[in-house]
Amino acid sequence: VNAVVATLGTGGTLMGLSKRLKEYNRDIQIIGMEPYLGHKIQGLKNMKESYIPGIYNKTRVDRIIRIDDEEAYQTARLLARKEGIFCGMSSGAAMAAAITAAKEMNGGTIVVIIPDSGERYLSTALFEDKTKTGQVFYNTITRKKEEFTPLEKDKVSIYSCGPTLAQPINIGECRRFVFSDLLRRYLESRGYEVTHIMNVTDIDDRTIQGAEKAGTPLKEFTDKFYDEFMNGLSILGIKRAKEYPKASAHVNDMIELAGTLLEKGYAYEKFRSLYFNIARSREYGRLSRIDLNKIRLGKTVDLEQYEKDNPRDFTLLKRSTLNELRKGIFYQTKWGNIRPSWHLECPAMTLKYLGETYDIHTSGIDLIFPHHENSIAIGKAVTGKSPARYWLHNELVMIDGKKPSQVTDPEYTIKNILEKGYSGRELRYWLLCSHYRKPVSFSWKKLDTAKRTLASMDNFFARLHNCPEAPANPEADQLIYDLKNSFNSSMDDDLNIAPALASIFIFMNRVNIIMDKNGLSQEERLKIITALKEINSVIAVFNLDETFSDPEVTEMLKKRDQARRLKDWETSDRIRHKLLETRGIKIADTANGTILRRLNQ
């Protein structure tokens, strides 16, 4: 036997093993598995949680390995599934520690102590129904937080309302897109395969009127804004959706859908236009909680210039106007020359790309009524099912007390914000740093605060890459565990971003203290960078630039540090100027150490 692994509870098992086995062979490695502070592994103990048992003598343990909760749980399940060993979570932790040790050994025999059986944990999270995910989202249709359970295991389908290509995207739309991106990224970080579809409206009243006003063909007009939209997504660090279907490419799908509604008796034709009869939709208003008797005609529903049986009914296919006919903006059908309405767009696309029912629909609260209410009515009429199982809506960005749709000033577009000296990363951070269900008011001062916050983060990363080499710090692993646990648990709770970001700031502050005292070992540095990269895969605001670790730059910094210790200020300043002139790196000597900054960031 080369090594024995046991968990730490009272420490009695480990102490007894060490005392007796060392009598036979002093080279046997005694390895203890100690959980992190704040763990949920029953029966185990971190020695800092309370008084250390009198029997425990740390000199009798050759090595301590820490395992997080999820790894312990997964390993216990694997023992049952693959080895037929039905044991508890602490046994899973012991085996996970043994696997960690085995990866570092060239050969030999490891004995693992399995301290408990699985029967007592049948009602715990260890063997709970794995269809439960642990994530909860606020579902607009039920007005409460609900545990998220995808239709298909380990896969999530998301449909997001995209832009109308009639103007440059404003910061209100930016929040909508950043929110859906944050959701998609977080679900992917939790192991889901996400299919994300975002529609693009390029044929409706606004686009047609915009093209008319601009004096350009409709396609040329909308293509310009489509290119700006895609560029805006890149600026904001938004991952590409699987598809960005355009309305104009799915007109036949919409016409077919309208025909199906007519056949089923949910629609009617009048003067060569088709309308949806909301009297046939028993649950109409469930999403918006709208009282149909209080609808303001011409304000919250379209009156159109056509006749309807009921002014509250909404349009499916519009009879093309003479001006539209002259410009070729029409589609021939058995009902005449028409164009589809906006409300048909989402139902037709979700049916085509995601099927009758999908997991999540995201958008802004301003589209709940009538657009999403109408989409649900169409979907249920055709399939008998609600299209989405979870409806997630972000609040608006208010500009001087007005909704973004009421502000036409180009000052609040991405292009203008960039021209004022702000980056897409700073705009993204400001948009996501408040909970998505909390309304926010735009101001340039708030963007300045976001700029300063990210600059502080950049300083931390610069220090991280260039802090002095030091012996391993026993607290580093615990800090990383606390960061991951706090971030994930916050995000699991309806994307609760405020405490999630707070956990990052607390982590950076504690790591700064460690760097101030001694520095970091190379292994710790890599672990910290890896943990932050995992988090950045979700929020996408860190600038984890590693170019400061360039060997030549590192050597120059070492020489400068040495010169400063010798009070050779002339050499120190010469290296400072050289780094600035040849590498564009600005050095600031602060109480927290030397901070490096690229001038082009």
Q: Which domains does the chain have, with CATH numbers?
A: 3-127 (3.40.50.1100), 157-425 (3.40.50.620)
Find all residues with CB under 8 Å of 199, minimum gap 6, and list them: 159, 160, 161, 162, 244, 245, 246, 247, 345, 346, 349
Q: Which residues contact 26 (CB under 8 A, 6 or more apart)?
A: none
pLDDT at 117: 86
Tokens encoding 177: 């897109």
pLDDT for the residue 400: 87
What pLDDT, on the 0 to 100 scale, is given for residue 51? Answer: 78
CA dist., res. 281 & res. 369, Å (int):
15
Instruction: Give the three-state DSSP class for 132.
Output: coil
Q: How many residues does the chain have?
A: 601
Phi, psi angle pair for 361, to nearest 5°: -115, 125
pLDDT of residue 557: 83
Q: Yes or no: say if 173 and 426 are a contact pair by the CB < 8 Å rule.
A: no
Contact in structure between 489 and 495 (CB atoms under 8 Å): no
Contact 325, 339 (CB under 8 A): no
Q: Provide the 8-state DSSP code for 359.
A: E
Predicted pLDDT at 300: 47
Angle at 399 between CA 397 and CA 404, to 5 degrees: 60
Going across the sheet that includes 331-333, the strands are 267-270, 273-276, 314-319, 336-340, 331-333
Residues of the chain with pLDDT under 50: 300, 303, 601
Q: Please tell me the distance from the alpha carbon of residue 574 to that of residue 580, in angstroms, as a whole number.
A: 10
| Contact by Cβ (8 Å): 11, 53 | yes
- The pLDDT, as a whole number, for residue 130 is 56
